[in-house]
Structure 1
């Protein structure tokens, strides 16, 4: 298997058992999304060629860069050209030829555009920029060319896409991702000491979802600010207030950014410190009264406008069975995780291997809102704060029961009496 595909597998983006020969598995949708852009690139390569002279796809691997509704695919593919036996075209019979091609394909609003094509002779293996050998990905189908009706609007969309999101796929981009969206302070420990919550003695039901119970507000967007800690805590408090008072209010993250003097606003923070700040301040205002701007401002909290208060905060068990039982009875839970796999996530149940998603390198705070099973695979339903366009309508589904990405190591909740 190609190293790039092995990476996807390790990230949990290609879950499940090995597929039957020549049959794509449903769980491998992340890899098979390369199929359409690869087939389109092939159609562009073959345009104008007579039947019998058209190349076929051999093997493909690639990377994808997403932004908004657009996806930019960087593909490497082997193309196999048929032998030339036509005396009017070639002087001597020529055996079939294998080419290595690099393609850039933009997919925007369901339309495809070929941005770059670079092909040259090569043997039957794909090599990357470090001359490491890649074996075949999966045989790709060579039929049903995709639509080619591109418009001037597409060119305009592409120009905006490239101008805004033209980045590399190397360490610089990954560092940018962590600097802008993640929370390095979480690795330093739990922060302010909290008492340990009493475990729920009941066994957890087979599944639970607080979204269906009205305890979860809509998915929010932290923007280019490492304020995940504030969103995780307000989500938890929203749920606790709903369970105790019967009213769901969207609470202010900006208040925590501006007024929590222990944490560091967009540079990160800890849920334990945020709970303490809420108690010290005297409560939380609503989103409507203290709206989110995504950068540090002067604290303008008004105790008269505070709509919600908390009495205490508690640390929860690291046992996932006990976490599920607590969640089902007590409400959504603030947790911190290693977000390494989240930058590649689109849908499905993610299950990165421990070496790639160490529980000791947690860097993102999120909200557990439920759990269940898909095709016998247990999962946590996690509310993220990167907008509803990310993941599954803003949610991340992570394997449950294996301590995946440290989801169980820093679980906590506010207490509302």
Structure 2
């Protein structure tokens, strides 16, 4: 009996040692991949502990995905050494509920008699710029706004130009620079001042003194900017007019997204602005059902999600995606 107990204890010790060595190797490879360095031993130990918790979370979730119990998978991405509290505190979007400056923004309700295509992807039109990275600045609102203007300008002129997020961060007093903002406010700023090209006003990942030069700004024949209520209106506008900005909840699960159709957890209020560039439907063989989804461009770099994009479940107002949708009307 004592020998059996000793054998069980030894087996547990060996398994623990092997697991520890495996995680050591994984930790080292992850740090190399994401160029992670820590200033102190205490910081390194804290980050390693957070990373291990994320590792176990990701493995557990992906096992469910392999069993057909989830429609998306998670990744040990560049956010993996953050705690869940740190990941969910990366707020850069001020919802309409908190804003009093846009009471006069028109609400556009599209005609429900229009027949929309089964799927749309504005990337096919070559009118969607590359995926960008906002870095540590809470400037998602600027990236979402600029992305909408880039696409709509291209749709009207057939010229794809990258515009300056940094101008909005530095000069748009209607928003709060790296501490968050609202795309409708930024649309109002651009409609009045225009916007410079990115090559003339480069992104700095921080708030600087305003260097706006009116003579270098591109101005637009902007009919209006507007809010879109509900996913049906969003789909109609997207199909016939072009990409739009939306506010979503970038929860802990969302930030660890790898691929598939995201339908994970959300918190009550949107905290992140992104761009919807398309929609579609995919058949889930495990559930034997068709799942509608949005194609969403993020501003966390190409090394996040599906080359910077995420597919989010559609027609269920997932993560409040239909709560703060906005777009623009341009003429040539």
Question: Which category describes the TM-score, using the shorter chain as reference length?
Answer: 0.7 to 0.9
| 1:52-111, Cα deviation, whole Å (9 max, x unpaired) | xxxxxxxxxxxxxxxxxxxxxxxxxxxxxxxxxxxxxx996679737385534678xxxx
- Name the CA shift for 1:161/1:207 in 2 (closer, same or farther; >3 Å): same
How much has 1:294 moved relative to structure 2? 1.1
Report if aligned partners of 1:207, 1:373 keep a CA contact under 8 Å in 2.
Answer: yes
Q: Within the alignment, does 1:297 sit opposite 2:208 as a pair?
A: yes
The residue aligned with 1:390 is 304
Residue pair 2:150, 2:163 contacting (<8 A) in 1 also: yes
1:258 and 1:299 in contact (8 A); partners too: yes
Counterparts in 2 of 1:93 and 1:402: CA distance versus 1, 3 Å: closer
- What corresponds to 1:186 in structure 2? 95
What is the TM-score of this pair, normalised by structure 1?
Answer: 0.61
Are the structure 2 counterparts of residues 157 and 322 from structure 1 closer, same or farther at C-alpha, using a change threshold of 3 Å?
closer
* Aligned counterpart for 1:337 among listed residues 234, 248, 251: 248
User: Which residue number corresponds to residue 323 of structure 1?
Assistant: 234
Q: Which residue in the other structure is 1:413 paired with?
A: 327
Asked if structure 2 preserves the Cα contact closer than 8 Å seen for 1:257 and 1:266, the reply is yes
Q: Which protein has the bigger helix share?
A: 2
Match of 1:70 in 2: none
Point out which structure has higher relative CO (alpha carbons under 8 A, 6+ apart): 2
State the SS of the aligned residue for 1:265: coil
Shift of 1:415: 2.1
Q: Report matched runs for 1:325-404 at 5 Å.
A: 325-340=236-251, 341-352=253-264, 356-358=265-267, 360-375=268-283, 376-404=290-318
Q: Give the structure 2 partner of residue 124 of structure 1.
A: none
Q: Secondary structure at the match of 1:211?
A: helix
- 1:280–1:298 distance in 2 versus 1, CA, 3 Å: same
Gaps of 5+ in 1: 1-89, 116-152
Larger radius of gyration, structure 1 or 2?
1
Q: Contact 1:332 / 1:367 at 8 angstroms: preserved in 2? A: yes
How big is each residue's C-alpha offset from its partner over 1:240-289, in whole Å with a ceiling of 9 and x where there is no partner?
111222211111100100110121100000111111111232x0111111
| Structure 2, unaligned runs of 5 or more | 55-81, 284-289
Q: CA deviation digits over 1:332-368, x for unaligned, max 9?
A: 011000110322211111102xxx414x410000000
Relative to structure 1, the CA distance from residue 184 to residue 220 in structure 2 (aligned partners, 3 Å threshold; closer, same or farther) is: closer
Task: Using the TM superposition, give the Cα deviation of residue 188 of structure 1 relative to its aligned residue in structure 2, in angstroms.
Answer: 4.1
Deviations 1:371-402 (A, max 9, x none): 11222321111000000000000001110111
Residue of structure 2 aligned with 1:244, choices 156, 169, 175: 156
Match of 2:12 in 1: 99
Secondary structure of the corresponding residue to residue 185 of structure 1: coil
Give the whole-Å Cα distance in 2 for the aligned partners of 1:237 and 1:398. Answer: 22
SS in 1 for 2:215: helix
Equivalent position of 2:71 in the other structure: none
**C-alpha contact 1:196 1:314 (8 A) present in aligned 2:** yes
Report the Cα distance in structure 1 between the residues aligned to 2:6 and 2:106, rounded to whole angstroms.
74
SS of 2:266's partner is coil
- Structure-2 separation of matches of 1:393 and 1:114: 22
In structure 2, do the counterparts of structure 1 residues 345 and 104 end up closer, same or farther at CA, with 3 Å as the change threshold? farther
1:147 equivalent in structure 2 = none
What is the aligned partner in structure 2 of residue 213 from structure 1?
125
Look up the SS of the partner of 1:346 in the other structure.
Answer: strand
Q: How many positions carry a matched residue from both structures?
A: 280
